[in-house]
Amino acid sequence: MSQLSRRGFLGVAGGAALASGLAACAGTGSGSSSSGGGGGSANTIDFWSNHPGKSKAAEQKIIAAFEKANPKLKVKLTDAGKDYEEVAQKFNAALAGGNLPDVVVTSDVTWFNFALNNRLADVGALFQKNGLSTSDYVDGLYADYRYEGKHFAIPYARSTIVFYYNKDVFKKAGLPDRAPTSWDEFTQWAPKLQSAIGNGKHALILDDGANYLDWTFQAINWSYGGAYSKEWTPTFDDPKTLKAATVLQGWAKSKYLKTSADSASDFGAGLGAVLLESTGNLGGFKDLPFELGVGFVPAPGGIKACPTGGAGVAIPSGISAERQNNAAKFVEFLTNAQNTATFTQATGYMPVRKSALKEPSEAAYLQQNPNFNVAVQQLPKTRPQDYARVFVPGGGASIGQALDKIVAGADVAATMKALNGTISSAYNSQVKPKLKS
Amino acid sequence: MTESAITGVDPDESSGRAHQAEAASFGGVLMKVAGYAAMVAVLLLVAAPLFWIVITSIKERPDIYTQPAQWWPSPPTADGYKAATTDIEFWSYFKNSLIITTILSIAKIVLGVLSAYALSLLRFPGRTIIFVIVIAALMVPNQITVISNYALVSQLGWRNTYQGIIIPLAGVAFGTFLMRNQFLSVPGEIIEAARLDGAGPMKLLWRVVLPMSWPTLIAFSIITVVNEWNEYLWPFLMSDDARTGTLPVGLTQLQNNDGITNWGPVMAATVLAMLPVLIVFLALQRHMIKGLTAGAVKG
């Protein structure tokens, strides 16, 4: 009997060991593989993208044109996730385990952490080395990726915020057919908009805190002269920031405001009179049951109150120089004037090149789509985002949570003071030690 | 009130005593009604989202976001299904999901049964320690091991391959745990009798222990199949495109990041992705019940 048991033992114990061993499998990447970048021929450019704004077809079109112009190079388009955070997650795994991409999409909030940890190459220097120019990029958009005098990404799918409004409701409320010049003016309009749109719907729809309210609220905050931070110093308890937060809470208390996880769809269904959202939604606003109005973000006194957002493309530092050079060539092609025009028309993102506006196809497109033109005209009025949101790890999420609490009725001053502490400690523990002084 | 005070008889008490039998049957009816009400409530709770998914998948796009909500599509359209199967390489993702789920489920079930058998019915030194290690593995969330697994698999050159997805996922601490405890509950006398009758280890497993454990095994199989079918993180990290990507990875391609998602095709693809698991569940569920009753009769 025991003999029989032993005979079975080898096979079965093998199964048990395999089962436990693999479930908790803990192999570690050796340092050499991440610096070598794993396999992959230098002539194949691996482009990791989440296809922002449903742009896969546009990307494939640009890649086909690139391969035609550079017969020796091949581009592999990789589905790297459903949003910027997933791309960052996948890239993070690759940094540990090798098989790095040649070009990767990084958003306004994900690039900095990689740059801080020396994981991204200085694209400005790479462009210079390969005889490519960066001077044609819209200055503000290119400057967004600057740190320590180096640039770590090239603007690609860049968006800004615009003021969307439901023209039918505005007409019914007897309001002028334009965006308000300040949020105070909007507050005066709100009761009329509310009674015009009716019960169960709202004068204003914003994202909720888990879905980029921290991004759109920046525009409101800046218009009151506030900011999340000055450089690395958080300024959530600044009187002007508190004022903006109080205004936000006032709208919520008067039931003018609804925050939503899918704000653009809500607005598109006619559930709100005003929406503050990315220009990237413009392409999706088709067959609306009302007439759509697009205006500048309210900015009283000509101040710059419109944050930029969206994503750029970066090149990892851990791949060979040859691969980096090829990647730089591809990045330049991807964002050249003609392809910028192709890409923006397919998606609704901002043209990242100054000369793209002179492309005949783009000029014709802008003429036919005045709403998109509004967004382009607003570009000179944009301003880079506050460090507290984009550079502090988890900053955006913390701000979003605090804003959610304020919308729900929490004490403004106390919430903002606590947020100040959260951001400060995240900065002190995770960023400050790595900053080169 | 006053009457009862005069007569000194508590009307509630007397009627209660008089109608005890009726009260009981009344209580039975009440229980039945409550039972049905609870059943309807649970059904609504479970079915409403499902109904909404199916309805949304055959709606036209402007009808999806409206207030008041539209509870019946007018007119129904197959556009969502068309978009779901043509916008992305749906069938390629589908095929990958089928292959990966099938192999992975078989591997997990076989490994789970064999290891559980060894840990419960065979005697060898270190048995308890191995079991503790298996349980420890169960406690480690796979999100934690993802990075190191990625490093290992990537160095083997297994990214974008089926084995790269399947092998690291084939560990079965849960199955080992579940099946071991099931095997231990099989009466020792039966196993002893089988051994006396000359049953070898495999025969013991196949003819005696497993037939008595069908319900647990089927439950374990269903859980495994559903889990593997829905697995997202690991296949997402391992695959770069539709060559090895699974359905959950493919479905995200339908969602528009940084813009407006057209939910019609997303819901249509979700319905299509649900069907195979539903079929497996319905097929296995019958056996599960059969197994349960068989056990009860033979007891």
**Whole-angstrom Cα distance, residue B299 to residue B289?**
15
**Whole-angstrom Cα distance, residue A8 to residue A242?**
72
At B293 the pLDDT is: 57
Asked if residue A197 has pLDDT above 60, the reply is yes
Asked if residue B297 has pLDDT above 50, the reply is no
Q: Is residue B176 part of a domain?
A: yes
At B144, is the pLDDT very low, low, confident or very high (cuts 50, 70, 90)? confident
CATH hierarchy code of domain A160-308+384-434: 3.40.190.10
Among chain A residues, CA nearest to B114: A12
Which are the contacts of B286, defined by CB distance < 8 A and separation ≥ 6? Answer: none
Candidates A294, A261, A80; CA nearest to B252 is A80
Among chain B residues, CA nearest to A97: B151
Segment B64-72 mean pLDDT = 76
Shortest distance between the Cα of A412 and any Cα of chain B, in A, equals: 29
At A66 the pLDDT is: 94
At A437, is the pLDDT very low, low, confident or very high (cuts 50, 70, 90)? low
At B143, is the pLDDT very low, low, confident or very high (cuts 50, 70, 90)? confident
At B25, is the pLDDT very low, low, confident or very high (cuts 50, 70, 90)? low
At A204 the pLDDT is: 94
At A75 the pLDDT is: 93
DSSP letter for A297, please.
P
Asked if residue B7 has pLDDT above 50, the reply is no
Residue numbers in B near A28 (CB within 8 A): 148, 151-152
Domain of residue B220, residue span: 88-253
What angle in degrees, to the nearest 10, is found between the helix axes of B263-298 and B79-87? 90
Q: How many CB pairs under 8 A join A and B?
A: 217
Residue numbers in A near B151 (CB within 8 A): 27-30, 33, 96-98
Strand partners, A46: A76
Task: Enumerate the domain spans of chain A.
Answer: 38-158+309-382, 160-308+384-434
- Among A9, A27, A280, whose Cβ lies nearest the Cβ of B152? A27
Q: Kindly provide the residue ranges of all beta strands, DSSP E only, lying in A24-142, ordered along the sequence.
A: 44-49, 74-79, 103-107
Judged by CB atoms closer than 8 Å, whether chains meet at B149 and A27 is answered as yes
At B23, is the pLDDT very low, low, confident or very high (cuts 50, 70, 90)? low
Candidates A154, A114, A119, A115; CA nearest to A138 is A154
At B19, is the pLDDT very low, low, confident or very high (cuts 50, 70, 90)? low
For an interface test with A, give the residue of B67, B257, B262, B267 to mutate (most A CBs within 10 A): B257
What is the secondary structure of A296-362 as a DSSP string?
Answer: PPP-GGG---EEEEEEEEE-BTTS-HHHHHHHHHHHHHHTSHHHHHHHHHHH-PPP-BSGGGGSHHH
Helix (H, G, I), strand (E, B) or coil at B70: coil
By mean pLDDT, which of A3-17, A106-120, A128-142, B268-282 is the weakest?
A3-17
At A166 the pLDDT is: 93
Q: Is residue B92 part of a domain?
A: yes
Q: In the predicted model, what is the mean pLDDT of chain A?
A: 86
Using the Cβ of A4 and the Cβ atoms of chain B, whether some distance falls under 8 Å is answered with yes
Segment B106-124 mean pLDDT = 91
- Domains: count for chain B: 1
Contact by Cβ (8 Å): A214, A402: no
Q: Is residue B99 part of a domain?
A: yes
CA dist list (Å): B191 to A1, B180, B184: 12, 14, 10
**Whole-angstrom Cα distance, residue A123 to residue B156?**
31
**Whole-angstrom Cα distance, residue A437 to residue B8?**
94
Residue numbers in B near A285 (CB within 8 A): 260
**Whole-angstrom Cα distance, residue A120 to residue A410?**
40
Contact by Cβ (8 Å): A331, A62: no
By mean pLDDT, which of A132-146, B128-142, B209-223 is the weakest?
B128-142
Report the complex ipTM: 0.71
- Count the neighbouring beta carbons within 10 Å of the beta carbon of residue A164: 26
**Whole-angstrom Cα distance, residue A56 to residue B252?**
13
Residue ranges of B 5-44 with Cβ closer than 8 A to chain A: none
Q: Is residue B32 part of a domain?
A: no
**Whole-angstrom Cα distance, residue B120 to residue B177?**
10
Residue numbers in A near B117 (CB within 8 A): 12
pLDDT in tens, A70-110: 999 999 998 888 888 889 989 998 998 778 999 999 998 88
Residue numbers in A near B114 (CB within 8 A): 11-12, 15-16
- Among A19, A50, A269, whose Cβ lies nearest the Cβ of B257? A50
Among chain B residues, CA nearest to A78: B240
What is the secondary structure of B49-68 as a DSSP string?
Answer: HHHHHHHHHTS-HHHHS-SS
Residue ranges of B 156-185 with Cβ closer than 8 A to chain A: 157, 159, 167-168, 170-173, 175-176
Q: In the predicted model, what is the mean pLDDT of chain B?
A: 82
**Amino acid letter, residue A321:** A
User: Residue A70: exposed, middle, or buried by beta-carbon count in 10 A (0-12, 13-18, 19+)?
Assistant: middle
User: Residue A393: exposed, middle, or buried by beta-carbon count in 10 A (0-12, 13-18, 19+)?
Assistant: middle
Contact by Cβ (8 Å): A388, A229: yes
Cis peptide bond N-terminal to B68, omega within 30: yes
What is the secondary structure of A177-200 as a DSSP string?
Answer: SS--SSHHHHHHHHHHHHHHH-TT
Q: For A49, phi and psi rounded to 5 degrees?
A: -135, 150
**Whole-angstrom Cα distance, residue A297 to residue A162?**
5
Q: Is residue B276 part of a domain?
A: no
Asked if residue B40 has pLDDT above 60, the reply is yes
pLDDT in tens, A363-412: 898 888 888 889 888 988 888 899 999 999 888 889 999 999 999 999 99
At B22 the pLDDT is: 54
* The listed CATH number (3.30.1540.20, 1.10.10.10, 1.50.10.20, 3.40.190.10) that belongs to domain A38-158+309-382: 3.40.190.10
Candidates A411, A415, A421; CA nearest to A401 is A415
Structure tokens at B140: 């480690």
- Among A15, A76, A287, whose Cβ lies nearest the Cβ of B114? A15
Shortest distance between the Cα of A161 and any Cα of chain B, in A, equals: 12
Structure tokens at A269: 């269904």
DSSP letter for A120, please.
B
Segment B24-43 mean pLDDT = 86
Residue ranges of A 339-398 with Cβ closer than 8 A to chain B: 347-348
Asked if residue A245 has pLDDT above 90, the reply is yes
DSSP letter for A386, please.
P
Q: Kindly provide the residue ranges of all beta strands, DSSP E only, lying in A137-271, ordered along the sequence.
A: 146-147, 150-151, 154-166, 202-207, 229-230, 233-234, 257-260
Q: How far apart are the first and last CA of chain A?
A: 73
**Whole-angstrom Cα distance, residue A132 to residue A112?**
23
**Whole-angstrom Cα distance, residue A30 to residue A172?**
66
> How many whole angstroms from its chain centre is CA A212?
9
pLDDT in tens, A5-22: 444 444 444 444 444 444
Judged by CB atoms closer than 8 Å, whether chains meet at B258 and A157 is answered as yes
Helix (H, G, I), strand (E, B) or coil at A202: strand
Contact by Cβ (8 Å): A80, A104: yes
Per CATH, A38-158+309-382 and A160-308+384-434 having the same topology is answered yes
Q: Specify whether the backbone of B23 is left (phi greater than 0), alpha (psi in -120 to 50) or beta.
A: alpha
Q: Is residue B222 part of a domain?
A: yes
Judged by CB atoms closer than 8 Å, whether chains meet at B171 and A287 is answered as no
Please say whether the dihedral angle defined by the alpha carbons of residues A288, A289, A291 and A295, taken in this order, is positive or negative. negative
At B256 the pLDDT is: 65
Higher-pLDDT residue of B260 and B159 is B159
Q: Is residue B7 part of a domain?
A: no
**Whole-angstrom Cα distance, residue A332 to residue A323?**
14
The CATH number given to whatever domain includes residue B207 is: 1.10.3720.10
> How many whole angstroms from its chain centre is CA B40?
22
Helix (H, G, I), strand (E, B) or coil at A272: strand
**Whole-angstrom Cα distance, residue B131 to residue B117?**
12
Please say whether the dihedral angle defined by the alpha carbons of residues B125, B127, B130 and B132, taken in this order, is positive or negative. negative
For an interface test with B, give the residue of A47, A60, A89, A99 to mutate (most B CBs within 10 A): A99
Judged by CB atoms closer than 8 Å, whether chains meet at A20 and B61 is answered as no
Q: Is residue B172 part of a domain?
A: yes
